[in-house]
Amino acid sequence: MKREEALAQIEQLRQEINEHNYRYHVLDDPQISDTAFDKLMQQLVELERQFPDLITPDSPTQRVGGQPQAKFAQVVHRVPMLSLDNAQNLNDLRDFVRRAKNLVPTAELEFVIELKIDGLAVSLQYENGVLVRGSTRGNGEVGEDITHNLRTVHSIPLRLRRPYTIEVRGEVYMPRAAFLALNEEREAQGQTLFANPRNAAAGSLRQLDPKVAAERHLEMITYALGYAPDLTPGTHYEALLAMQDLGLRINPYFKIAHSLEEVVDYCESWREKRHELPFDIDGLVIKINSLALQEQLGTTAKSPRWAIAYKFPAEQAETKVLGITVQVGRIGTLTPIAELEPVKLAGTVVKRASLHNEDILREKDVRIGDYVLIQKAGEIIPEVVEVIKAKRSGEEKPFSMPTNCPACGSSVKRLPDEVALRCFNPQCPAQELEKIVHFAARGAMDIEGLGPAVAQQLISAGLIKDVADIYLLPQKRDVLITLERQADKSVDNLINAIEKSKKQPLWRLLHALGIRFVGARTAKLLASHFGSLDALMSASREELAQVPEIGPKIAASITDFFALPATQELITRLRAAGLNFRQTEAKQPQLLQGKVFVLTGTLPTYSREEAAQMIEAAGGKVTGSVSKKTDYVVAGEKAGSKLAKALQLGVKVIDEAALLELLKMQ
């Protein structure tokens, strides 16, 4: 491979890995499996090995990962919290042992094997035996102070059995039973479900209110010493026992091994047994037992040479495709779904798997009656890996995507440069549910209490069919309180939220209408330029194209939307309900004139769109990227790379309360 080709591949891999790191460590929203992520890292490591002059200090291979968040104080770890290299197979384990023996050729190696709990790594600091601080791993050197939440975890002692000054490392996790109960509760309330126990645990520990963490039934296992001048163990095994003696909880499932064969046997024994545990593990950790040898072996820039994580491969299972159905989304996208013969996979029963779109369905050639291999991407999302064509009997039935929408019967078509078939009937019942949920969402009309579950309940009860019907609900209070899980208070809160939404600014209504390609930013541009919904509806494509950032594609989508008779009828009904159709600009002092702001993360009270609107109304400017010209970065929960850059450049970071103080609104 030529150097130029390698450079292009390396840059692409770094970009992908950085994006996945951000989603995993900052957003707690992984989009690919650990296996797929590890493959990306292996490709990058191999290319950098071949072209070492292309290694840069900011390459993902040269760092631990993650960034502390602004809403929490920063904690500097006395001893860095390094991440572990991964072993994907037995050869990787052999290489780990071989490298260690090469570095300490005269030593007899002994290993400690521990379960690798899938949670959030934390560090606990005790002063004179009292818990004074708890923090996340962060970037390995600096973490986030989450002491207020860790104090709610009952398996973390607030005082040790001896008055030692010590720093220990552990994993906070959510037991499987607690995770299932939490998601059941969230589903009943119409809230977004957590993808897995690890995300639930991480999200719980990053709450400002410790009551949230206290209700989540979190647990912790301690697995290593950090700073520990009062303890002098000779081995990692002795360190585990010493921590247990101090009152810290350790994992009882560990083993001392004296050979690679013993290590392999113990790792393999947990491949199936892991589902019997009350918590999730994604592998095992193998450490060289002698602490003296650990010190002698040392570390690389990001990982110790004396430890490695053996990751279980993504679990796969064979099952039969009983049928293929089609789901319809908010904008009419048709998604094929494989209906499967129930099969246990990664500890759960899988009955369905997405086939994504028509192209993937054809590429994999999935037929009704086929036997297929499925796996969970990151043990979260079921997917069809491949068809087992050797098992075909000839009776399998190919599946073709429908020419008519399965929900409403309208013709469907595939637009140029798109992979999905779509239904273009604005009154399609399947789309109406998704449209109602979008209309009521926080970033749109912000009708609190009208989530997916409640919307479906209202549709099933015949109380609403479309978004205009939402504004008839206040007249049906007596019917609403008869619905399951609807009490006086919840119904009154919903009605108040509906009435309040009538006064939302025009841009929110434009965003809520769900016009294709019109997000919040485009909606603001349109509202500001035309000043009223009527002016926008009467605008031609040429007039729309005069608006900055509005190209021919968006202009065509807007004119086509408002030309539909169904849209015109909807607008008439919303007008009769009393919604705000005009751009109103309140006069207020330009307190932030000339100041440049960047918003990142989730604010506790206002959405980022609302905060941006307040800043702009006060004369400030909101931009999407941080630079030396930025005056303030307003950081909320799950702030990410923008916060990191602000800290790097020395830009002032504030929270929502400080922003309101600047606006003189407190």
Q: Are strands 596-600 and 621-623 parallel, antiparallel or unpaired?
A: parallel
Residue 351 φ then ψ, to 5°: -120, -15
Q: What are the beta bridge partners of residue 307?
A: 287
d(CA 346, CA 544): 51
**C-alpha 575: how far from chain center:** 38
The helix (H) or strand (E) run that includes residue 254 is strand 254-257
Q: What are the beta bridge partners of residue 114?
A: 254, 285
Residue 415 φ then ψ, to 5°: -75, 155
Q: Are strands 307-311 and 86-87 parallel, antiparallel or unpaired?
A: parallel
The answer to whether 653 touches 643, Cβ cutoff 8 Å, is yes
Q: What's the token pair of residue 490?
A: 């919840």
Side-chain half-sphere of 419: how many Cα atoms within 13 Å?
11
User: Measured between alpha carbons, how far is residue 106 from residues 111, 237, 261, 287, 316 in Å?
Assistant: 16, 21, 20, 18, 42
Coil, strand, or helix at residue 78?
coil
Catalytic residue among 2, 71, 116, 587: 116
Outline where DSSP puts E strands in 298-417. Answer: 307-311, 316-328, 334-345, 348-354, 367-368, 371-377, 381-387, 397-398, 412-413
d(CA 167, CA 165): 7
**All residues at 6 or more sequence positions from 224 whose CB lies less than 8 Å from its CB, including other chains:** 168, 169, 170, 236, 239
Angle between helices 608-617 and 520-530 (to 10 degrees): 30
Angle between helices 34-50 and 3-21 (to 10 degrees): 150
Q: For residue 535, give the nearest of 502, 558, 565, 566 by alpha carbon.
A: 558
Sign of the CA dihedral 369, 371, 372, 376?
Answer: positive
Sign of the CA dihedral 250, 254, 255, 259?
Answer: negative
- The DSSP code for 299 is B
End-to-end alpha-carbon separation of the chain, Å?
Answer: 61
The answer to whether 147 touches 74, Cβ cutoff 8 Å, is no
d(CA 42, CA 46): 6
Q: What's the token pair of residue 491?
A: 């119904």
Q: For residue 29, give the nearest of 170, 203, 237 by alpha carbon.
A: 203
The answer to whether 318 touches 311, Cβ cutoff 8 Å, is no
Q: Residue holding tokens 């939402």?
A: 470
Q: How many CB atoms lie within 10 A of CB 524?
A: 21
Q: How many CB atoms lie within 10 A of CB 247?
A: 15
Residue 155 φ then ψ, to 5°: -80, 0
- The DSSP code for 304 is B
d(CA 255, CA 243): 17
d(CA 549, CA 565): 27
**All residues at 6 or more sequence positions from 536 whose CB lies less than 8 Å from its CB, including other chains:** 510, 526, 527, 530, 558, 562
Concatenated DSSP letters of 569-591:
HHHHHHHHHT---B--------T
Catalytic residue check, 116: yes
Q: Which residues are catalytic?
A: 116
